[in-house]
Structure formats: C-alpha cells, structure tokens
Structure 1
Amino acid sequence: MGNETKNVSVGKPLATGAIFVAPSGAAVPTDAATPLAEIYKCVGYISEDGVTNAVTTDSEPVKAWGGDTVLNTQTSREETFAFKMIETNKTSLEQAYGSGNVTEEPESGSLSIKHNSKEKSVYVYVMEVILTGNRIKRIVVPVGKVIEMGDVVYKDNEPIGYEITVSAAPDSDGNTAYEYIASAK
C-alpha cells in the first residue's frame, strides 16, 4: 500500500467544543462515536495554538565490560497535554484555579475566584478533533491533573487566557491516554 493523502489531517476542533472535563470517577469514554455523558463540561474556546501532547521518556544505558552499550532501559515516562483556554467561564476557571476556588451566583452568573496553593483535583479529560474524511478523533485522559498554570496576560490586543498543563497519570490498566477514531455522524 502506498501513500494515502486521505489519511493526512490537521487538528481542527469540533464546533460544539473540543475539550471536556468530568470529575474523577465519571464513566470514561471507550470509543469516538458515543456521545459524551452530561457530566462532561466543555472548557470553552481554546487558543489558536490548540493542544500540545508531549511524551517525555528517560533511559539509562547498560554497559558491558569494555564499554559497549548493550541495553537501554527506560527509567521514566511522563505524558502531558497543554492548552490555553480563552473563554472565561466556571469550567475553565475551575481548571485553572481549582474546583473549590470558583463559585458562581446562579441567578446573576457572577463568578468569584480564589487564588491559593490548594491541591488541584483529578479529572477525566476528553479532547475531540475533526480529521480529514469526516472522521473524529477522541483523546481520553482517564486520570488527569493540572500541574502547571501559565501567566494570565491582560492586554488590549489579545484574549485573556488560562494556559494549563495536564499531567496524565496511569489508570488501573497502566495507560495514560487512549485515542479512538471513528466516522463522524
């Protein structure tokens, strides 16, 4: 089989939202076709830089007598997902500042946000991407936690954004993320 241009895609978000979160313990999606449960909340618009998925591994060489490297053993692996939320809403602010630090007045929609060093909660993260050929890719992080927050810049020519890095910890099967691809409906 030769090269297939139909398999080349760019990372476009779904019009209905691209990144969704649910509290730890929520049912984890196992395909790309089943609609997400209502417990999953969209964080809103993401900056034009999209999502960066980084996998970092370290290894250590094993040397034989005489100095030859005869084996490399993996000593660590970390997977992260980084993105900047440019919509200011309860869900995006909870990801940036912690779920216990954001309150919303239901009638007025007013928000109050506390800045502190409290530990962030674990969430299930789902990222949905449109692929070429009317296909959808769903990336699922079953055990995700915000480990880093970037600077929030207030400037008259760019949107206010909340840049976060989510660490993907292994689930009970030892997997940090899952990817599913299906035809879009």
Structure 2
Amino acid sequence: MAGDTDNPRLWEGADFYAAPVGSTAPTTVAGALDEVWEAVGLLSEDGASETRDQDSTDHYAWGGKLIRTTRSKHKRTIKITCLEDNLVVFGLVNPGSTASTTGGVTTRVVKVPKTDPRAFLLHLTDGEIGKRRVFPKGEVSEVGEVTLSDSALQAYELTITVYPTADGVLYHDITDDPQAAVPTTP
C-alpha cells in the first residue's frame, strides 16, 4: 500500500479568531498573534467545514465533443459553531449592535444586522503539527438557529462567506506540516 500513515491529519485542537480587515496576519504557525485578533472561545466538537460553490459551463464542438469548461461565480464559505456567548461572538452574530455593563448588569441592544467584513483565522493542531488558515476578508453571512433549552448547549453556527482579495486570494495556509513542504531544487 502506498502512502505514509503519519500523513493524515486529525485536528485535535482548534481556535478561531476575528480581527478588523487589514490587520497584520501571522506569518508563522506558533508565533503570538497581534492583540487585535480576538478569540471566539470554545468551538463545537463538530469542527469547521469549508464549502465551495461555483457555476460551470461545458462547451462542445459540432458533433458533441467537449472542448472546454468555463467556471464562474466561485464562492467559498466556512462554517463554525461557537459555544460561548461572549462579546466577540455577540459582535459577529449581531453586527452593529451594542452592549454595555453598569453595576454588574449587562444590557445588549440588538439591531438589524449591518455589513461588517472581518479578517478571520482558524488555528489547528495535530500533536506537534500546526496550521493557520488566514482569511484576509470575510463576513458572517448566516447564523443558524439558536436553541435555548435545558437539554442542548446554546450555540451559534456561523457561516462566513470568504471574499477574495483584488488578486484573487481567498486565504493563506501557514503550516509546519512536513508533508506540505515544497522541495527545494539545487
């Protein structure tokens, strides 16, 4: 059997962060993040999922021979479920809303959501192997149903639409995974 059993990844740990668009992104896997990167807190054990969507059109020559496929309207989303109801999550779920605390009592004023693009970072670990996926610009485009009960954790399922940069970059992966290393040519 071809392959190496040390290569498949099972991401045992993860953190998810948000920051203003244009924030200094990390360039290493383990280096400290700028203080503008705010953690959303505990995440669901279901992990994160990435979805790709695009239109494709097949073009045929006379006689039915496929000669080309064109692609357009590429869309990438990432879905993550936050288990905490902290200020970072509140801001992502309710952009444009406010919160204030006086005398130990917090009042949240929830308004109709406004556009609020952010930079996002997903930090993953598998033992000693790490990966940081940096999304320079995205926005929470959907918030799943929030259950308030005595039998299920309150959770916020966020779908984030990833916007490409002017040169078409959706995200950067930074990893110390040896299987991802690009061989150097002498």
TM-score between the two structures when normalised by the length of structure 2: 0.87
The residue identity in structure 2 corresponding to 1:141 is F
Residue 111 of structure 1: how far off its partner (Å): 4.4
The match for 2:141 among 129, 144, 147 is: 147
1:170 equivalent in alignment to 2:164? yes
Residue 46 of structure 1: how far off its partner (Å): 1.1
Verify the 8 A CA contact 1:125 1:142 in the aligned structure 2. yes
The match for 1:108 among 95, 104, 128 is: 104
Shift in CA distance, 37/168, structure 1 to aligned 2, threshold 3 Å: same
Residue 82 of structure 1: how far off its partner (Å): 0.5
The match for 1:179 among 159, 170, 173 is: 173
- The separation in 1 between residues aligned to 2:166 and 2:25, in whole angstroms, is 12
- The separation in 2 between residues aligned to 1:22 and 1:109, in whole angstroms, is 27
Verify the 8 A CA contact 1:80 1:168 in the aligned structure 2. yes
1:81 equivalent in alignment to 2:78? yes
Q: Secondary structure at the match of 1:6?
A: coil
Question: Hey, what does 1:8 align to over in structure 2?
Answer: 8
The residue identity in structure 2 corresponding to 1:119 is K
Greater Rg by CA: 2
How far does the alpha carbon of each residue in 1:125-146 deviate from its partner, in whole angstroms, 9 at most, with x for none? 00111024x0111011101111
Residue correspondence of structure 1 range 33-112 to structure 2 within 5 A: 33-98=30-95, 100-105=96-101, 108=104, 110-112=106-108
TM-score between the two structures when normalised by the length of structure 1: 0.87
How far does the alpha carbon of each residue in 1:124-178 deviate from its partner, in whole angstroms, 9 at most, with x for none? 100111024x011101110111111111111211111111100111113311111
- The separation in 2 between residues aligned to 1:109 and 1:76, in whole angstroms, is 46
- The separation in 2 between residues aligned to 1:178 and 1:64, in whole angstroms, is 38
1:123 equivalent in alignment to 2:130? no
The residue identity in structure 2 corresponding to 1:144 is G
Aligned alpha-carbon RMSD (Å):
2.0
Aligned residues: 177
The runs of 5 or more residues in structure 1 that have no matched partner are none
- The separation in 1 between residues aligned to 2:45 and 2:156, in whole angstroms, is 13
Shift in CA distance, 105/165, structure 1 to aligned 2, threshold 3 Å: same
Q: Secondary structure at the match of 2:84?
A: coil
- Structure 1 runs (4+) deviating above 4 angstroms are none
